[in-house]
Structure formats: structure tokens, C-alpha cells
Amino acid sequence: MPRALAIETSGRLGSVAIVEDGRVLAEDEFPHGLQHAAEIIPRIDRLCHDLGWVPTDLREIYVSVGPGSFTGLRIGITLAKTLAFATGARIVAVPSVEVLARNAPWEVRDLIIVLDAKRDQIYTARLTRAEQGWVEREPAHLDDLRSMLARAPRPVHLLGEGIPFHQKFIPADDPQIVVCPVESWRARASAVSELGFHLAKEGHFADLNTLAPIYIRRPEAEEKFDARRPL
């Protein structure tokens, strides 16, 4: 019965969960931002202490790897690697779009993930619900919502924290485009744990030396810096 930690820092709010044999025993949420980086370890320590665990009890770490917040993903991946080096736990990289898809209401068949990438662009993926679970029709990539909707079947549902920033691209006169409830827009560590547990059972562990966030594109600060450099 592997004891594990699930980490979700891809969105505006982060969370961690303590897991045993795929079952969430405790979950804690914290505000997103640089200020929460120093808070995560004490929160994890407190959750473990309340269960009578010590850090070396953790044998697996499930971490949401993006796409999503550049800062949040860096924090989550760095934390996962640090804990893995310190405890010997193995890491499972969990795609954030699949974590979000777990929030979709049961009646949803076709789903578009909408995460703001600024400049009228989104980090997105399109998935279809099948008997075995969600199937990627378009894997995570950079796009715009108008184009995604033009290619999608109907009805189609939208889910993700980027929806308010791209509302102008959602036709008000098309009832076949449905926005999922606001409470479903945020990724959670409990969903990371569910996916991570199954991936671990199939032996899908990450290489510590090559594990990196799924950024899709470079951070905006780097792009602006390069744009200012003389040719």
C-alpha cells in the first residue's frame, strides 16, 4: 500500500494531498503566488504529522506538470524533485489537462480545456469521454478559443480558469457551447492523486534528471527580453 503525496500548483490556487493506496487521507489548499512557496513544506509536514507519518514514509509523489501557471509549475516540479531526492520516492508526472477533465460533470462528452495564455491565446486541449475514460482528440497546445470552437463537435463544454479572459470568443447565440460550472474550473490535488496512482500502477514513473514542466511556450518575460535584444 504505497504512501504518496499529490501536488497541484498549475492554477491560481494550489493544493497538496496525502494519499495511501490511492485513497486521499488529507488535502490542504493554499493561495497561489510566490508567497506560498515557503508555506508548502510546513503544510505537508503538518498533514504527515497528523497521520503519524514521517517524510521517508512517502514512496511516490504525483505532481501536476502543466500546462498552467509558469511560476506555480516551477514551484511544484522543484518541490517534487527535492522531496524525491531527499526521501527516495518516485515521481509520477500528471498532465494538468487530464486533472481538470476529472472535474467535468458526468453528462459531458466533448470537452475543451481553457487556460489563459494572454494575447488572446489559450493553453488548451480537446478531450472526448469514452468507456475507458477521457481520450485526447487534441493534446495540450497553444491556440485561440475561436479556432478551437470552430473545430469542435457539438455539443461541446468548456472548462478552465481562462474562461473569463476569453468570454468574448464564446458565441452567445450557440446553445451547443456550454460553460461548465465555475466550481469545476480549478485543478485539485485529489484528482492528481487519482491519476497519479493509476499511472504508477502501470509503471509510468518520471526520470528525475529530465522531468520538466509542460510550458508549451517560453515565459513572457523571456520573450520580451529576446524582443529587446539587438539583432
CATH topology assigned to domain 3-96+186-228? Nucleotidyltransferase; domain 5 (3.30.420)
What Rg, from alpha-carbon coordinates, does the chain have?
18
Residue 119 pLDDT level (bands cut at 50, 70, 90)? very high
pLDDT digits (tens, 9 = 90+) for 55-89: 899 999 999 999 999 999 999 999 999 999 999 99
**Mean pLDDT score of the chain, rounded to an integer?**
92
Model pLDDT, residue 225: 45
Domain range 104-184, its CATH number among 3.40.50.620, 3.40.50.2300, 3.30.428.10, 3.30.420.40: 3.30.420.40
pLDDT digits (tens, 9 = 90+) for 156-215: 999 999 999 999 999 999 999 999 999 999 999 999 999 999 999 999 999 999 999 999
**pTM to 2 decimal places:** 0.92
Q: Are strands 3-8 and 60-64 parallel, antiparallel or unpaired?
A: parallel
Q: Are 5 and 18 in contact (CB under 8 A)?
A: yes
Cell numbers that stand for 16 in this block: 497538496
Where do the CATH 3.30.420.40 domains begin and end in the chain?
Answer: 3-96+186-228, 104-184
∠ at Cα 30 (67, 143), nearest 5°? 20
| Angstrom distance (rounded) from CA 184 to CA 170 | 18
ω into 155 cis (within 30 of 0):
yes
